[in-house]
Amino acid sequence: MTVLQQISPHRRRATTALLVVAAVLTLAACGGDDKEQSSLAPTATTAAATAVAGQPPAVQPTATPTVAATATPSPTATDTPVPTTTPTATATPIHPLSIEYLRQQEYPGSELVIEQTLAPGSNYDRYYASYYSEGLKQYGLLTVPRGQKPDSGWPVIIFNHGFIPPNEYRTTERYVAYVDGFARSGYIVFRPDYRGHDQSEGTPSGAYGSPDYVIDVLNATASLKQYPDADPQRIGMWGHSMGGWITLRAMVTDPDIQAGVIWGGVVGAYEDLLTGWRRGDRPAPTPDPNGSRGRWRNSLTSLFGSPESNPEFWQSLSANYFLDELSGPIQLHHTQGDESVPVEFSEILYRQGLDAGMPIELVTYPGDNHNISGNFGTAMSQSVAFFDRWLKQPLNLTNVAGATVFTGNGLANLRSGPGTSFNIVGQMQGGESLSIIGANADRTWWQVETADGPAWVADSVTLAAHFADVPIVEEAAGP
């Protein structure tokens, strides 16, 4: 298992483009054999024809006799010119796959209705629940902890599942152990179906060629904010594979999502999906032009060109170019050699997170599978701990500019040097942040500035941002 954690001060951000609405868009989801469709028709702009004014006829001379004066011809009437019609300007709509489009929509959600009580878990109750998204009745699996509810309500995790063929998906099946891991840890968990899955209304349009699934998840998030037992200020999001794509897009759209964890996520930008979606060590295959993945590629590239020829358009669609506006820290988990979604997607996102200066972690696992089954216990415990740190004590990223270290839920000891053998000289409180002024050689300890002077805090119990350029400090000789 490899753990990486680093942020740099450089930012990358694409300029939002106003672009013509695309035609039919479709894409495969996680794993590659999905059928995803969308119908996003382009808007045509027409100009009115210009009317042409009439021309006067030529004057014919009258024959002149020898003794008679020349007759004066009568004047010819000239047609009144018809004014030229000025075409009315038509606003070019924002592309519905763009991040700006998602940000301009409203997500009212609805009341979360308990449709059926299911068999309970070890320390939580389970329900089959419903809500509305764009007028469509959607269903999901809801778990609620038993016991004394916090005064502000239980923290929430929106659980975004990966691709399962919509006609095979069942709300109460799959991901049972994953949901249980979070539910047993004191979180309300809600796993929305997505439209067209099981009994949820609507057409399953897919995640990459349509905004529908992201819209459904954002309406689910809004519905959980209204749920009486939930704390609307402590909402996190977990996603696997295709659900990771949805999670990342949701987190650059809704500022109320406080933290995110993604396993085996399809988190590359659109240009990465076009050329980099390979399987294991094999090169990226050429998509079948008649398959779902080939159709969305052909549709977009025929209308807007390639990412090389039209980078502004492609960047406007990709959450990766909006990471400086992430709503909270992200933890990535991915198997090295993943046969379904390349680990390079997470590695690229991690490096982009460094450039954006946002708190981000990457954990990789050798020799495992797409579901991280062999390291499930480790990955789940790290995911729960991450949510505990940043959701049970929400992290405020507002105005974080310089190298900064944060604590989450609980305390972090400050020591006189970089190691547990050094004396404790103070503590960071839950939710506190301090400026980083240095690091040890392997960046496992941060030197921070306190009111009483420099001190050291462990990276393992904190999260750092903007620290790529902090200097290496000569380590103290002893306590």
| Residue predicted with more confidence, 159 or 302 | 159
| Mean pLDDT confidence for 299-315 | 91
Lowest mean pLDDT, pick from 48-52, 108-112, 262-266, 394-398 = 48-52
Question: What is the pLDDT, as a whole number, of residue 396?
Answer: 61
Highest mean pLDDT: which of 7-16, 64-73, 198-207?
198-207
Amino acid identity, position 14: A
In the three-class reduction of DSSP (H, G, I as helix; E, B as strand; rest coil), residue 423 is classed as coil
* 12-21 tens-digit pLDDT: 444 444 333 3
Question: What is the pLDDT, as a whole number, of residue 109?
Answer: 98
| Mean pLDDT confidence for 422-449 | 90
Amino acid identity, position 459: D
User: Using H for helix, E for strand and C for coil, what is the string for 102-142?
Assistant: HHHCCCCCCCCEEEEEECCCCCEEEEEEEEEECCEEEEEEE
Burial class (CB in 10 A: 0-12, 13-18, 19+), 290: exposed
Q: Check pLDDT > 90 for residue 36.
A: no
Lowest mean pLDDT, pick from 230-244, 347-361, 376-390 = 347-361
- Per CATH, the homologous superfamily of domain 404-465 is SH3 Domains (2.30.30.40)
For 129, phi and psi rounded to 5 degrees?
A: -125, 165
Highest mean pLDDT: which of 26-40, 329-343, 454-468?
329-343
- Nearest by Cα to 322 from 3, 17, 69: 17
| CA–CA distance, 390 with 234 (Å, rounded to integer) | 9
> Could you give the residue range(s) of every CATH 3.40.50.1820 domain in the chain?
2-19+27-34+96-390
Question: What is the pLDDT, as a whole number, of residue 37?
Answer: 38
| Mean pLDDT confidence for 358-387 | 95
| Mean pLDDT confidence for 130-145 | 98
321 pLDDT tier (thresholds 50, 70, 90): very high
354 pLDDT tier (thresholds 50, 70, 90): confident
| Mean pLDDT confidence for 380-394 | 87
359 pLDDT tier (thresholds 50, 70, 90): confident
DSSP structural state of residue 472: B
* 198-232 tens-digit pLDDT: 999 999 988 998 999 999 999 999 999 999 999 99
Q: pTM of the entire structure?
A: 0.73
Q: Spell out where 431-476 has E strands.
A: 433-439, 445-450, 453-458, 463-465
DSSP structural state of residue 468: T
| Mean pLDDT confidence for 455-465 | 86
Question: What is the pLDDT, as a whole number, of residue 80?
Answer: 53
Share of the chain above pLDDT 70, in %: 73
| CA–CA distance, 326 with 15 (Å, rounded to integer) | 16
In the three-class reduction of DSSP (H, G, I as helix; E, B as strand; rest coil), residue 66 is classed as coil
> Could you give the residue range(s) of every CATH 2.30.30.40 domain in the chain?
404-465
126 pLDDT tier (thresholds 50, 70, 90): very high
Our separate counts of H helices and E strands in the chain read 9, 17
- Between the alpha carbon of residue 25 and those of residues 95, 212, 217, 300, the distances in Å are 12, 12, 20, 7
Element (H, E) at 56: none
90 pLDDT tier (thresholds 50, 70, 90): low
3-state helix, strand, coil in the chain (%, to 5): 20, 25, 55
Mean of per-residue pLDDT scores for the chain: 81
| Residue predicted with more confidence, 155 or 71 | 155
Q: Check pLDDT > 90 for residue 314.
A: yes
Structure tokens at 325: 């506006």
Q: Check pLDDT > 50 for residue 83.
A: yes
Question: What is the pLDDT, as a whole number, of residue 182?
Answer: 98
Question: What is the pLDDT, as a whole number, of residue 357?
Answer: 80
437 pLDDT tier (thresholds 50, 70, 90): very high
In the three-class reduction of DSSP (H, G, I as helix; E, B as strand; rest coil), residue 450 is classed as strand
Question: What is the pLDDT, as a whole number, of residue 464?
Answer: 81
- What's the distance, Cα to Cα, between the start and end of the chain in Å? 31
| Residue predicted with more confidence, 93 or 91 | 93
98 pLDDT tier (thresholds 50, 70, 90): very high
Query: What would be the CATH architecture of the domain defined by 2-19+27-34+96-390?
Result: 3-Layer(aba) Sandwich (3.40)
- Between the alpha carbon of residue 199 and those of residues 167, 192, 196, 227, the distances in Å are 10, 11, 7, 22
